[in-house]
Structure 1
């Protein structure tokens, strides 16, 4: 069991297994990669070719179906046909209707004969009682009267609508196109196409060993390579994309499709993947054969490598085991030009060097043992001197630390003074700013007071002028009052005059009736004048009362305006005094600020000096501390040196004992 374990732990066996597995894996990976890439390439290329073929077939079929739709439109494009069709719909004579039906049927037959693939053309009129017109009278034209078909055609609004159903003879496929149009009444025009016209277009396309289907949008099979499926529902799922891998009847298929634009029919092809993979299987078989050959070659190469590398390495391992036991006289007998030979030569050189090193180490151990005693004595003396130096430097460091602490306190005090000075400077700046604003406000207030004095003087003059005008207005109102009194007297006289005239007219009898009317009108006018004068008198009285109140108010306001003028002048003098005092205060503030600035400079210089003193003291304390630390370290090193000297002596003894087990001759 141990022999098998050591065999598998050998370098030769590991190289054999590594080379064997590497060659086998490379061959298998290359074969599998070639097989996969070939399979994928064939699938991709075949799928693309079939997609293109399906699209081209759909385009060709679209051209054919569009041509049939155009022929159907040309049937109703003839003017004579339209005229006869209108007469056919509008005529009430049965004989004439029958004659027109025969003529129109002949026209439809002529149109159908232009293409042998057109089986018949049928025209259905919405007019009640009209027969179905057909190009082939032997065919069942009445079969086109299907409400569902008619509704689909009418929903097309004049566009061709294609149909495929099992309405042909014996349940065979029937393909026809319908179109609705309106000429006085609604008409439906149908053209039945021979399915062979579609079949020959599809059969001319090469899809290899695949199945080909033409499927209508309602999943009715229009054409299929298998017989008997035309007219039946399509039994499989349609591909969601242009091409897809599907399973049909348990067999993997490459499914492709192309869509006919004019009616939505789909050209579907299913090609077995097995037929596409025949050439790929040859690559797989070759890969398996190469794998078997690679196994044999890897076994042979591994055995040769194991013989050329494993055996020499085993010999070197045995020699190294002897060297590990202390036998320095062993040497390798391998003489080769490759790397193993170089390793053997290097082993021999290494053993020579180790032998010389052991001999030199014996001599060095004796010399180290002799010098360790002198080193121990020197280390003890160094330790005593280091202790004395450490004590002195400790005292120096303590004094330097005290000086640094005092310097830092002085620097803190100087910084506090500087902060207070900065506060005073900021306060002076704020006071200066406030004083400037107050001085500007005083100047502005003085200007406003000057303007206010002018405005008040003008207002006082206007008030005085208004009082004079109101006085004159009162005089005018008095004159108006006098005029109204004179009008009152005139109105009384007019009233008396009209009364007298009425009396005289009454005396005159019938001759004075006209004069009586005039007298009554004069008396009525006099009464109206009296009422108007009374109203005007009341208004004038009100105006006089208001004028008297206005005069009184103006008389009372005049002394107030005079007092306001005096108060404004006094305020103007106060603003001027404030401006003068603020100017003087600003001058004193600027002088105080200059003094504080000089104090700040002195404080800054003092703070800098204290900082320098503190820095020097700290440096001195740091240097003293470093010296003390170095002295303590030197003391520790000296003690360690003594200990190391003792250990060196012990190690020298142990080294001599260890070297004594090597065989050097």
Structure 2
């Protein structure tokens, strides 16, 4: 479960970090771009506002500039200026007309405090009338001098504060008649309406408008009105700049001053803003983006957590099933709905379990077959061992009988020699023939009895040899059956090895989850290879046994042929003894004809000696052959015992294979009960 949580964290954390980095990059980049764009837009907007301020100021001043131009061109003003040296009546009439037009002018332009006319001779006319000192010299005033210096257009004085504390500016225009100066007409304009209008404007971003005179005095300023602003870094550059517009910065105060120059007056009209206020919109947008990004990030983390849980749940189920398989339970199944890779993995896992069950079932059945074959092989080996032991016993008996036959043959030879001596003495002792005939008859009966015993012994030996031949033949047949079983075991081992190899491949495909089964498959494959090696060793032993069996059969066949010849000789000897018995029975009757028959007896005697020698030699050969057969039978018995040991080893390997298979629970309960 912790591993699955780790997988879930490995799935969530990188995506969350990626989303966080992405959102952070988007917020920073977007904030930076929005800040740049907002700053540019705000600057353009504030430039427009400043342009409007400049335009408002310009309109305000332009209105009075044009009005003073019109006033200077009016006939009444010109007549008054030219009537300075005229008669009193003309001068009075001109003064009345000037008074009237000045009154009209002041009524029309509410911000005009005073309108006046100054002649070069220092004559001065002002409406409304104001008490001035007698030594007041209008020609010495700046507005007069500026107007005289600038003949073509009206001029503006620097703003100043009058006695009532009101900011006033003077506009003046010189009048000429040809090249002669008639006078200067001027007006004092109250700037209160302009400053109030400018101050009342909402320029946004918590900024405030500023109007400075050419010398840097503040005409409009929320705190520094009337003070010179050139000492402040923010305004110093703007006043001294030769450009008509621009932006001045105060890095320490983080303020900027956007300004425009007003024509004619050289006023500096602008607005002061805090940079933080200008980019407050971008900061608000950044905050909104941050809140939105965090909200989306939380939502996406929840969604990702849900999706990861949905993905990890089948993986957890698959992990539990793999753990069950690792414990040996092959009854487990996973049920994962869908068509994605995890569902396909679940289907592949179920298919793998089915294949494993089939493989282990086949291996189990093969092991069962091997066990049955081993049991059958043990039985056959035991039968072969028993048969071999019986063969050894019978061959030993044959050897004993052969030795007895040799002794009897030797005794027969000795008796035959004694008979020869008797026959040689017959000629000299005919008078004792009757007595000796009785002894000879008795000896002949004993010889016949021994020959009959030898014949029976030969028959028994022949039966034993036939039985040994049958046993060895049956042993060869049984060994061939064992060889077939060994071939079957070899095939089963090869199939088991192939199935173990396929299981290893399937386990390798399963990765870490198939590692346990890979070890089992490797052990199965190892057991199969050991079974195959043991089967090959048994095969080699069987081939050795078969070769020994073939040699034993050949020796027995030769021995059988020798015994056939021996039997023939024994039969002949028996016939001779029967004839001799008849002869001895008739000896008394034929004693008279003994001498006639002695020659035949001598001949028969020599044949009997030769036959006795031959029987003795044949008996010795039979004993030697029985000893060889006994040796081969011992070798066969050792080989059968080796087969038994190899079978026991194979049985142990099969039990280990069965124990390995029993680790897996792949049969249903009903099948297990049947088993």
Same fold (TM over 0.5): no
Which one has a bigger Cα radius of gyration?
2
TM-score interval for Structure 1 and Structure 2 normalised by the shorter chain: 0.3 to 0.5
* More relative contact order, 1 or 2 (CA 8 Å, 6+ apart): 1
Please report the TM-score for the alignment, with normalisation by the length of structure 2: 0.41
Q: State the TM-score, normalizing by the size of structure 1.
A: 0.42
